[in-house]
Amino acid sequence: MDIRYWNKDVETADVQKIRHLQLQRLKSIIASALKTPFYSRRLPSVGINSPDDIKTLDDLRRIPFTMKDDLRQNYPKGLLSVDTSEVVRIHTSSGTTGIPTVIYLSAKDLDAATDIMARSITATGAGRTDILQNMMSYGLFTGGLCMHYGAERVGLMVIPAAGGNTKRQVSLMNDFRTTVLHITPSYLLHIHSKLAEYGVKVGDLALKKAFIGAEPHSEGTRRKIEELFKIDAYNSYGLSEMNGPGVAFECVYKNDLHLWEDAYIVEIINPKTGQLVPDGQEGEVVLTNLIRHAMPLMRYRTRDLAFLHIEPCKCGRTHRRLSRILGRSDDMLIINGVNMFPSQIEEVVMKIPEVGNNYQICVEKDGALDRLIVKVELYSKMFLGEAKQIDNLKSKIGEELKASITIKPAIELHEPGSLPAFEGKAVRVVDTRPKL
Ligand code: AMP
Ligand code: ZN
């Protein structure tokens, strides 16, 4: 295994050392937070008036959670701790679900975030000789620029392709012998389904690795990507509120994601009660950013559901690993009273070998009842066989889904390329039921 470190001392530091560093950094973040309109009201209300009021890491739990709504209500400057002359970059969330949220970075903050990104890239074994095609969108979204800066710092050659224009993406990969991709898993699968049309074979390309993230995906999807492209795919997790990608990243063992604990304090809570869950148990990920001072954010509720591995990783890093994101506490579907996450459906369908590169989950009203329809693309060779084979496959998919989500959805099988494709984050669920 090609185990490389970016900052070995920190990456392999013993737990006590990491906790000590976290406490020092938390105090310093509290000092910055007290300069923001938002936290200068909130912290004194729980008796925190200075960094000295934080004696141990447990004191963090005196601070109430910060919610996405807090960011919205304090848009645009309520969480800014410095004069804008100190700010070198802003990013905002898309705002598709309401008022956008904004993050601010000082030069020092950007430097720290870039370093964490460089560390993440290095953990996968990528380095100076690699050529990275960055297909995440550049601009207000963090995915493109943050990876770009991190990769430049490591010394990879970066192709700032951004998302979209699939034909050109493939030409770029071919012409510049791209070895690493940064991309959403759904877009990567879409690219695969276009290769034949462009007259390109996987074997013509020089791909070795892909950093896949920004959207939920199952282990089956990762395997499919790895098999189709003959590459290693590494899960990359991040969110704009925490500076974007690089919060947690897989190392060469691809056994879930090291969450960089010198930069973030992670708590896993029961989303209903807000209480910490025991180690190793699933819950909502809550993050405190320890490396951003221009806009401090503490105990931010991500809504992402995951658990922490307690066992150490073979790579020697001591930072705990976050599981793949199992769902979001706000994307649960309730179908005729049965709760399920879209990720459970993906988990099943993407493991079925006949299923191709895309799927969609539709929910509609059928009289008084809800109707769940799972649409999957098949590889074209499947349509050459007998009709009976197709029928058997339909019932197999239906049965396997029933075993996981307890209800049997209607299954539709589609030709490759016929379901909506996405160049960035995929929208998998189309729920046309009237909102209550
Ligand atoms: P954004 O703030 O637009 O970058 O979106 C961040 C959200 O994307 C996270 O809170 C997750 O819900 C999702 N996300 C990012 N990376 C991953 C990943 N590797 N696996 C699953 N979901 C992810
Ligand atoms: Zn590891």
Encode pLDDT of 190-237 as tens digits.
999 999 999 999 999 999 999 999 999 999 999 999 999 999 999 999
- Per-residue model confidence (pLDDT) at position 387: 84
Q: Which residues of the chain fall short of a pLDDT of 70?
A: 94-98
Which amino acid residue places its CA nearest to atom 20 of ligand 1? 216
Domain boundary among 330, 348, 371: 330
Which residues on adjacent β-strands are paired with residue 133?
A: 159, 181
| Ligand number nearest to the C-alpha of 119 | 2
- Per-residue model confidence (pLDDT) at position 382: 83
User: 361 and 310 in one domain?
Assistant: no
Quote the number of domains for the chain.
2
User: 255 and 364 in one domain?
Assistant: no
User: Does the N-terminal peptide bond of residue 76 adopt cis geometry, omega within 30 degrees of 0?
Assistant: yes
- Per-residue model confidence (pLDDT) at position 100: 83
Query: Would residue 3 count as lying in a domain?
Result: no
The CATH number of the domain where 34 resides is what?
A: 3.40.50.12780
User: 401 and 325 in one domain?
Assistant: no
| 215 Cβ closer than 6 Å to some ligand 1 atom | yes
**Whole domain around residue 357: which residue ranges?**
338-431
Which residues on adjacent β-strands are paired with residue 411?
A: 374
User: 416 and 295 in one domain?
Assistant: no
- Per-residue model confidence (pLDDT) at position 71: 95
User: 354 and 324 in one domain?
Assistant: no
User: 315 and 408 in one domain?
Assistant: no
User: 372 and 236 in one domain?
Assistant: no
Domain boundary among 282, 303, 330: 330
Handedness of CA 366, 371, 376, 382 (dihedral sign): negative
User: 373 and 291 in one domain?
Assistant: no
Query: Would residue 33 count as lying in a domain?
Result: yes
- Per-residue model confidence (pLDDT) at position 93: 81
| Ligand number nearest to the C-alpha of 234 | 1
Pairing of strands 180-183, 157-159: unpaired
| 237 Cβ closer than 6 Å to some ligand 1 atom | yes
User: 358 and 263 in one domain?
Assistant: no
Distance CA 245, CA 181 (A): 14
The CATH number of the domain where 386 resides is what?
A: 3.30.300.30
- Per-residue model confidence (pLDDT) at position 94: 65
- Per-residue model confidence (pLDDT) at position 152: 98
Helix H or strand E encompassing 375: strand 369-378
Amino acid in the structure at residue 51: P
Which amino acid residue places its CA nearest to atom 21 of ligand 1? 216
Long-range CB pairs of 281-284 (<8 Å, 24+ gap) are: 281/307, 282/306, 282/307, 282/323, 282/326, 283/307, 284/329
Distance 296 CA to ligand 1 centre (A): 20
Mutate to test the pocket of ligand 1, among 325, 329, 332 (most ligand atoms within 8 A of CB): 325
Position in ligand 1 atom list of the atom nearest CA 324: 20
Query: Would residue 436 count as lying in a domain?
Result: no
User: 135 and 15 in one domain?
Assistant: yes
Tokens of 122: 């290095």
Distance 210 CA to ligand 1 centre (A): 16
| 124 Cβ closer than 6 Å to some ligand 1 atom | no
- Per-residue model confidence (pLDDT) at position 248: 98
User: 343 and 322 in one domain?
Assistant: no
- Per-residue model confidence (pLDDT) at position 97: 61
Domain boundary among 330, 351, 385: 330
Amino acid in the structure at residue 150: G
User: 325 and 359 in one domain?
Assistant: no
